[in-house]
Chain A
Amino acid sequence: MYCRLLCAMAFAVALSAPLAAGAQDAELSKIREELRQLKDAYERRIQALEQRLQQTEAKAGKAEEAANQAAVQSSSRPTGENALNPAISLILQGTLARSSRDPANYQITGFVPSGGEVAPPGRGLNLSESELVFSASVDPYFRGVLIAALTPENEVEVEEAFIQTLALGRGFMFKGGRFLSGIGYQNEIHQHAWDFQDAPLAYKALLGGRLNDDGVQLKWVAPTELLVELGTELGRGRVFPGTDRNRGRAGAWSLFGHAGGDLGTSIAWRAGLSHLRTSPRDRTYDDVDSTGTGVSNSIGGRSQLWVLDGILKWAPNHNASAQNFKLQGEYFRRRENGSLIYDTQAASLGTQTGSYRSRQSGWYLQGVYQFMPQWRAGYRYDRLNSGATSIGLVGTGALTAADFPILGGHKPKRHTFMVDWSPTEFSRIRLQLARDYSRMGAPDNQILMQYIMSLGAHGAHKF
Chain B
Amino acid sequence: MKTMLKFVASIAMFFSFCQALAAFNVFACEPEWGALAMELGGDKLSVFTAITALQDAHRIEARPSLIARARNADLLVCTGSELEIGWVPLLLTQAGNGRIQRGMPGYLEASQQVARIEIPQALDRSLGDIHPGGNPHIQTDARNIARVAEVLAQRLAQLDPQNAAAYQSKYKDFGARWQEAIRRWEKEGARLKDVPVVVYHRDFSYFIRWMGMREAGSLEPKPGIPPTPAHLATLVEQMKRAPAKAIIYSPYNDPRAAQFLSERTGIPAVMLPFTVGGNEKARDLFALFDETIALLLKVMQ
Contact A221 B96 (CB under 8 A): yes
Name the one of A166, A221, A322, A458 contacting B71, with C-beta atoms under 8 angstroms. Answer: A221
The segment from A58-66, A168-176, A356-364, A412-420 that touches chain B is: A168-176
**Which residues from chain B contact A259 at a C-beta distance below 8 Å?**
64
Q: Shortest distance in angstroms between B27's beta carbon and chain A's nearest beta carbon?
A: 12
Complexed CA–CA distance, A122 and B224 (Å): 36
Given A458-B85, A460-B85, decide whether A317 and B55 contact each other with a Cβ distance below 8 A: yes
Name the one of A223, A227, A317, A373 contacting B65, with C-beta atoms under 8 angstroms. Answer: A227
Name the one of B94, B226, B252 contacting A373, with C-beta atoms under 8 angstroms. Answer: B226
Contact A463 B61 (CB under 8 A): yes
Query: Is B179 an interface residue, CB under 8 A from the partner?
Result: no
Given A221-B67, A223-B18, A317-B52, decide whether A463 and B98 contact each other with a Cβ distance below 8 A: no
Contact A221 B99 (CB under 8 A): no
Q: Shortest distance in angstroms between A312's beta carbon and chain B's nearest beta carbon?
A: 11
Name the one of B55, B61, B101, B224 contacting A313, with C-beta atoms under 8 angstroms. Answer: B61
Interface hits, B35-82 → A, CB 8 Å: 51-52, 54-56, 59-65, 67-69, 71-72, 82
Q: Shortest distance in angstroms between A11's beta carbon and chain B's nearest beta carbon?
A: 77
The segment from A34-42, A111-119, A261-269 that touches chain B is: A261-269
In this complex, the interface size class of chain A, counting residues with CB under 8 Å from chain B, is 35 or more
Contact B96 A171 (CB under 8 A): yes
Contact A169 B54 (CB under 8 A): no
Contact B252 A460 (CB under 8 A): no
**Which residues from chain B contact A265 at a C-beta distance below 8 Å?**
52
Interface hits, A257-293 → B, CB 8 Å: 258-262, 265, 268-270
Contact B65 A167 (CB under 8 A): no
Contact A462 B56 (CB under 8 A): no
Q: Shortest distance in angstroms between B226's beta carbon and chain A's nearest beta carbon?
A: 5
Given A169-B96, A171-B97, A223-B71, decide whether A426 and B125 contact each other with a Cβ distance below 8 A: yes
- Which single residue of chain A is at the shortest CB-CB distance from B98? A167
Contact A268 B64 (CB under 8 A): yes
Given A167-B101, A221-B94, decide whether A321 and B68 contact each other with a Cβ distance below 8 A: no
Contact with A along B198-224 (1 / 0, CB 8 A): 000000000000000000000000001
Contact A319 B71 (CB under 8 A): no
Contact A227 B98 (CB under 8 A): no
**Which residues from chain A contact B71 at a C-beta distance below 8 Å?**
171, 221-223, 227
Contact B226 A374 (CB under 8 A): yes
Q: Shortest distance in angstroms between B212's beta carbon and chain A's nearest beta carbon?
A: 21
Query: Is A226 an interface residue, CB under 8 A from the partner?
Result: yes
Complexed CA–CA distance, A225 and B59 (Å): 22
Contact A270 B64 (CB under 8 A): yes
**Which residues from chain A contact B103 at a C-beta distance below 8 Å?**
140
Interface hits, A107-151 → B, CB 8 Å: 137, 140, 143
Query: Is B194 an interface residue, CB under 8 A from the partner?
Result: no
Contact B62 A319 (CB under 8 A): no
**Which residues from chain B contact A222 at a C-beta distance below 8 Å?**
15, 68, 71
Interface hits, A358-406 → B, CB 8 Å: 373-374
Name the one of A137, A225, A228 contacting B69, with C-beta atoms under 8 angstroms. Answer: A225
Contact A461 B86 (CB under 8 A): yes
Query: Is A220 an interface residue, CB under 8 A from the partner?
Result: yes
Q: Shortest distance in angstroms between B122's beta carbon and chain A's nearest beta carbon?
A: 15
Contact B101 A166 (CB under 8 A): yes
**Which residues from chain A contact B64 at a C-beta distance below 8 Å?**
227, 258-262, 268-270, 463
Given A261-B68, A319-B56, A458-B85, decide whether A140 and B61 contact each other with a Cβ distance below 8 A: no
Contact A262 B65 (CB under 8 A): yes
Given contacts A424-B225, A426-B125, 19 further A-B contacts (CB under 8 A): A137-B102, A164-B93, A168-B96, A169-B97, A172-B96, A221-B95, A222-B15, A223-B15, A224-B68, A228-B68, A262-B64, A318-B61, A319-B59, A321-B56, A424-B125, A425-B86, A460-B85, A460-B86, A460-B90
A-B contact pairs, 18 of them (CB 8 A): A74-B119, A140-B103, A166-B92, A173-B93, A173-B94, A221-B71, A223-B15, A224-B15, A227-B64, A228-B68, A260-B68, A261-B64, A262-B64, A318-B55, A458-B85, A460-B62, A460-B87, A461-B86
Closest 8 pairs (CB-CB, A-B): A260-B64, A167-B98, A227-B64, A227-B68, A169-B98, A171-B96, A317-B54, A262-B65
B interface residues, Cβ below 8 angstroms from A: 15, 18-19, 51-52, 54-56, 59-65, 67-69, 71-72, 82, 85-87, 89-90, 92-99, 101-104, 119, 125, 129, 224-226, 252, 254
